[in-house]
Structure 1
């Protein structure tokens, strides 16, 4: 058995797409046991990935070096005797945990002067798709395990497992109506308005969907609540604003129970697609050729 440590990404969508690497590793080595280091919020995502045996929480804020917590976690992981580590982010600090854990083989792309910390440099073999200016993220991820095949196979696309018991508990807790088809809206996105479909358009669509007998569930974080309330006010009865009322685990359940999802280019877009929900993804300043829902 090969014991693998992966330092995962720090964003929701990237962590979902990281499953392509996990699936490539397992395809190449069916006996691989994959352990993932990531922020605390990522645990509900990796818990839905059958390829992941265990997750370790490293909660260090963005922009913080966090030498002490990285050293403590890495030292605590030494008894696990990992055979290989994959460092997905390109930052110097991301490579510290495997080094402190004394993982002998530490793979990653060239990044912030981390020679030695990463001792197995992955060549950049992935290429942009026709018409794209940048390489597709999932192709970069799978190439970390196998640079000779730097294109994600269809069978390696992200697939999050649904949890029926958790969904039932979430439905009961949030008092979600199951008498009508439900369309989830995800009106938020990182980096602001350039990635967001105008709230007025979401409201117009919500009004139409409610008028046709559907429920609309607005999903997101607390910072998306104002947009959700504006949509609900414009659309009238039939819209539930759940933004800010759920953690990520419950948001995953809500999306899983939805009949379809309308979303900006966001982490929840990748969650919805990985759950197999019919997903309409709206791209603004970003490219659908680089980070598409899969």
Structure 2
């Protein structure tokens, strides 16, 4: 049995986009044991992926170097006797732990002078592999091999009993169509559709008979509170009240998800929920929602995508000119569960 350690990305959405790579590894190595080294905030997502055998907590936060601690963790992982590691982040420090673990085959893209740490270093052709999901999946192939297409799309499945337990926990019913709003985006404000726009869309959907749930992290509670305060007392604000596994279970109940480009957007796509994905400073040419039921809503302005955390020009036109009326035009006419 082949044993593989995957060093996961730090973002929830990127971990969703990692799943086709895991699927391809299982195809190539039936019965393989795949363990994932990942930050704690992604753990509950990764534990729901059937391809993942175990999640090992990566205790190092964004930007933390901690050379000695990485060496100690790598030494601890030696006993697992992994055959291969696949390092998805491009940083030098992310390749340290597999090196210190003595894993014989260490795969990843060339970046930050990692030649000594990776002995299966690949050169990334961004033209041939424009999508992040393709870049991840290519690392599951033998060096020099073409990526096998079409890729399987990420897929999350929530058992009926888990869904029922979450509905009971929060006292929720499914007697009306459910619209889930995901108004946050961890990367920064340039990826967030304005709260007053979400508020106006909530009123529109409420008039059509929907109930609206707001889902996100504790960091999203302030913007969610604004949506409720702007004439939406009937909206249920769950931001900060669910962990990631609970959020996934509740989102699986949605007849419609409206989301910024965020980790929850990718989760909604993997759950195969009808999705309106709002893009501003980022690009669906790199990290689109991978679902036939997703509609990408964006304006093709000369200044976007800029990939900045805040609008560098100060006008925020990529979001402000994408009005609630325009987004409402794309709401499915007949909600389907």
Q: CA deviation at 1:115?
A: 1.7
* Structure 1 match to 2:139: 144
Q: CA deviation at 1:285?
A: 0.8
Between 20-29 and 283-292, report the one with greater CA deviation. 20-29
Residues 194, 286 of structure 1: CA spacing in aligned structure 2 closer, same or farther, 3 A cutoff?
same
Of 158, 161, 165 in structure 2, the residue corresponding to residue 165 of structure 1 is 161
Q: TM-score, normalised by structure 1?
A: 0.92
Instruction: Give the alignment partner of residue 290 of structure 1, picking from 278, 286, 289.
Output: 286
**Structure 2 unaligned regions, length at least 5:** 291-337
- Partners in 1 of 2:74 and 2:168 — Cα distance? 40
Larger RCO (CA within 8 A; separation ≥ 6): 1
> Match for residue 57 of structure 1?
57
Q: Mean alpha-carbon deviation: is it higher for 54-63 or for 66-75?
A: 66-75
Q: Determine helix, strand or coil for the equivalent of 2:135.
A: helix
Q: How does 1:126-137 map to 2 (within 5 A)?
A: 126-127=126-127, 135-137=130-132
What residue ranges of structure 1 are gaps of 5+ in the alignment? 130-134
Q: What is the CA-CA distance between 1:128 and the residue it aligns to?
A: 5.6
**How far does residue 152 in structure 1 lie from its aligned partner after superposition?**
5.2
* C-alpha separation in 1, matches of 2:148 and 2:157: 23
Determine whether 1:249 maps to 2:242: no
Note the alpha carbon deviations across 1:79-111, whole angstroms, 9 max, x for none. Answer: 211111101001111111111211001001011
CA RMSD of aligned residues (A): 1.7
Structure 1 segments of 4+ aligned residues over 6 angstroms from their partners = none
Residues 1-294 of structure 1: pairs in structure 2 closer than 5 A = 1-127=1-127, 135-146=130-141, 147-150=144-147, 153-154=150-151, 156-294=152-290
SS at match of 2:53: strand
Q: Deviations over 1:164-186 (max 9, x none)?
A: 33322222222223221111000
Determine helix, strand or coil for the equivalent of 2:225.
helix
Q: TM-score, normalised by structure 2?
A: 0.81
| Contact 2:199 2:232 survives alignment (8 Å) | no
Paired residues in the alignment total: 288
Task: Please give the alpha-carbon distance, in whole angstroms, between the structure 2 residues aligned to 1:287 and 1:248.
Answer: 25
Conserved 8 A contact 1:4-1:33: yes
